[in-house]
């Protein structure tokens, strides 16, 4: 019997001095037992599908994958595949069935496995998914969602479009904005779900798959803007923080730029508030701190987000908050006047962002983030900065918020100041303001000492 490698568990036991039976047949039995209860990986599903289509019997597939035959059968059923078992021999005395037509000589035998029904394209990566399968064999997406007409007028690329030499495939649209279209996609090399953003500025058109500049923008200006997005994507690839969406790849194709980012499972802050109302002060302070720590890295790299709003904050599993959509991000230098394109969302954009040739600083992003936090705590959008300088007032935060988190309330109020110099000047300064109003809980020893002091005062008075 050939030698079998020991598992990591066996090696750790041997190093610890624990006796382990290393005979090949014993090792094989242990491996087979463990493999019977482990999950199937995407690579194993792909190999199983290939062997299945080539007509290999279940016993051979189970031996090659080191799985139990019953486990292979159940996995085939979950993938929508059925093993055609040979008919049982007739019992003695049972009426015989008419013989089937013999297969002509010289032709190969038909495979023992068949598909239950024609496959349908995956709505995420457009790979073929067998009927009745619970997940896509390519990207692992759950089956049951369909491509709807949520964006019927968007000139999108067709489902299944391959990019970057076939490495990425496009699925349904996740969202659209002023800078482009974001698709659900798949990395066919790693078989991982990703989000792919196509640089498609407002007013642009598509001729077949080629992107044409918007009316009023010549080819040179469009190429310069496209190059800026690629350069900024390269900077974002360097960030490794849980509150900043990870950028995996960036490339040019079809006359435009594409960004490949991590796919986030969750909902936007705007959707969360619309669904369940204003959030608790403690939860808002938690994800505000996360976003500010990530924003500090962005500002340290000399970038401004410029479009922070509830729709660009994702709330994911594990209370993780992520800042997304850096399509409007631009370089900045504090106290220097620079020319930037007008990108703003009323209610969240500071007054200085309404000008194209003004001084900007990190406080511009802090104003937008504070407007976002104000929306999370109240369910209302702050009045636009242009209306506030003409007399519109910003309603105070609810009393319950100021009592539960006074530091958070003070930080938001200060960062929403119209005047730049009255706001916090850095993300770290705003974090300090948020946590300044938090009083630490007294320890049991402190409580006992306070009780003893009060008792001594009562005795002295008595």
Q: What is the domain extent for residue 386?
A: 266-436
Q: Are residues 177 and 239 in the same domain?
A: yes
- Sign of the Cα torsion 294, 298, 300, 301 reads positive
Task: Count CB neighbours of 192 within 10 A.
Answer: 15
Q: Are residues 301 and 383 in the same domain?
A: yes
- 107-154: pLDDT as tens digits: 555 544 443 445 666 666 666 777 677 777 766 666 654 444 445 556
Q: Are residues 282 and 412 in the same domain?
A: yes
Tell me if the pTM is above 0.75. no
Question: Is residue 126 a part of any domain in this protein?
Answer: yes
**Which parts of 389-443 fold into alpha helices (H)?**
399-404, 406-415, 427-436
Question: Is residue 94 a part of any domain in this protein?
Answer: no
Strand intervals (E) in 139-255: 162-163, 168-176, 180-187, 192-199, 205-207, 210-212, 247-253
Question: Is residue 57 a part of any domain in this protein?
Answer: no
Q: Are residues 177 and 213 in the same domain?
A: yes
CATH of the domain at 249: 3.30.200.20
Question: Is residue 331 a part of any domain in this protein?
Answer: yes
Q: Are residues 315 and 215 in the same domain?
A: no
What are the tokens at 398?
């609810």
Question: Is residue 172 a part of any domain in this protein?
Answer: yes
Contact 256, 198 (CB under 8 A): yes
CA atoms of 449 and 434, how far apart (whole Å): 30
CA atoms of 124 and 191, how far apart (whole Å): 12
Question: Is residue 386 a part of any domain in this protein?
Answer: yes
Taking CB atoms within 8 Å and a gap of at least 24, the contacts of 205-212 are 205/155, 206/155, 209/157, 209/161, 209/254, 210/254, 210/255, 211/254, 211/255, 211/256, 212/255
Domain boundary among 262, 294, 319: 262
Q: CA angle at residue 73 from 70 to 77, to 5 degrees?
A: 140
Q: Are residues 369 and 272 in the same domain?
A: yes
- 387-398: pLDDT as tens digits: 999 989 999 999
Taking alpha carbons only, the member of 277, 451, 282 closest to residue 380 is 277
SS3 203: coil
Q: Are residues 296 and 409 in the same domain?
A: yes
Question: Is residue 239 a part of any domain in this protein?
Answer: yes
Q: Are residues 220 and 160 in the same domain?
A: yes
Contact 20, 10 (CB under 8 A): yes
Distances (CA, A) of 145 to 100, 135, 276, 397: 43, 11, 24, 40
Residue 295, Cβ density class (10 Å: 0-12 exposed, 13-18 middle, ≥19 buried): buried
Q: Are residues 244 and 289 in the same domain?
A: no
Q: Are residues 277 and 407 in the same domain?
A: yes
- Residue-level pLDDT, tens digit, the chain, 462 residues: 444 555 556 555 555 555 556 566 665 666 555 555 467 777 677 777 767 766 677 777 776 666 777 788 888 777 766 555 555 666 666 666 565 655 556 555 554 444 344 566 666 666 677 767 777 776 666 665 444 444 555 678 888 889 999 899 998 888 887 778 889 899 988 888 899 999 988 888 888 888 888 888 888 888 988 888 888 788 788 888 889 988 999 999 999 999 999 998 889 999 999 999 999 999 999 999 999 999 998 898 888 888 899 999 999 988 899 998 876 665 554 444 444 455 688 999 999 888 766 677 899 999 999 999 999 999 999 999 999 999 899 999 999 999 999 999 999 999 999 999 999 999 999 999 998 855 545 555 555 556 556 655 655 555
- Number of structural domains found in the chain: 2
CATH of the domain at 343: 1.10.510.10
Phi, psi dihedral angles at 107 (to 5 degrees): -105, 140
Q: Are residues 271 and 239 in the same domain?
A: no
Q: Are residues 209 and 279 in the same domain?
A: no
Domain boundary among 245, 262, 279: 262
Domain boundary among 262, 283, 310: 262
Strand intervals (E) in 19-104: 81-83
Question: Is residue 390 a part of any domain in this protein?
Answer: yes
């Amino acid at each position: 019997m050939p030698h079998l490698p020991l598992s990591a568990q066996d090696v750790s036991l041997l190093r610890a001095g624990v006796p382990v039976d290393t005979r090949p047949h014993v090792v094989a039995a242990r491996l087979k037992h463990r493999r019977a209860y482990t999950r199937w990986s995407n690579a194993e599903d792909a190999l199983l599908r290939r062997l299945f289509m080539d007509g290999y019997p279940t016993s051979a597939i189970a031996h090659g994958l080191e799985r139990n035959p019953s486990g292979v059968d159940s996995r085939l059923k979950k993938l929508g595949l059925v093993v055609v078992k040979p008919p049982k021999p007739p019992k003695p005395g049972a009426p015989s069935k008419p013989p089937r037509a013999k297969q002509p000589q010289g032709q190969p035998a038909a495979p023992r496995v068949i598909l239950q029904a024609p496959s349908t394209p995956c709505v995420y990566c457009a790979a073929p998914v067998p009927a009745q399968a619970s997940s896509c064999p390519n990207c692992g997406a759950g089956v049951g969602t369909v491509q709807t007409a949520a964006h019927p007028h968007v000139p999108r690329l067709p489902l299944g479009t391959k990019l970057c030499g076939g490495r990425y495939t496009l699925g349904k649209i996740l969202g659209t904005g002023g800078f482009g279209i974001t698709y659900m996609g798949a990395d066919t090399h790693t078989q991982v779900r990703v989000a792919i953003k196509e640089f498609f500025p407002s007013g642009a058109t598509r001729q077949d798959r080629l992107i044409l500049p918007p009316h009023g923008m010549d080819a040179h200006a469009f190429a310069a803007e496209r190059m800026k997005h690629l350069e900024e994507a390269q900077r974002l690839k360097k960030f490794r923080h849980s509150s900043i969406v990870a950028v995996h790849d960036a490339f040019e194709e079809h006359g435009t730029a594409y960004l490949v980012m991590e796919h986030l499972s969750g909902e936007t802050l705007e959707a969360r508030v619309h669904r369940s109302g204003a959030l608790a002060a403690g939860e808002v302070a938690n994800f505000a701190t996360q976003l500010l720590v990530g924003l500090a890295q962005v500002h340290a790299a000399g970038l401004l987000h410029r479009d922070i709003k509830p729709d660009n904050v994702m709330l994911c599993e594990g209370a993780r908050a992520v800042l997304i959509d850096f399509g409007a991000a631009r370089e900045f230098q504090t106290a220097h006047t620079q020319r930037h394109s007008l990108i703003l969302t009323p209610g969240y954009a500071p007054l200085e962002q309404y000008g194209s040739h003004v001084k900007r600083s990190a406080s511009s992003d802090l104003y937008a983030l504070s407007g976002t936090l104000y929306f999370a705590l109240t369910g209302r959008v702050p009045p636009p900065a242009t209306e506030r300088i003409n007399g519109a007032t910003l309603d105070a935060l609810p009393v319950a918020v100021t009592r539960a988190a006074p530091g958070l309330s003070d930080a938001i109020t200060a960062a929403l100041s119209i005047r730049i110099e009255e706001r916090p000047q850095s993300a770290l300064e705003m974090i300090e303001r948020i946590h300044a109003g938090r009083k630490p809980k007294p320890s049991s020893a402190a409580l006992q000492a306070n009780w003893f002091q009060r008792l001594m005062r009562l005795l002295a008075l008595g």
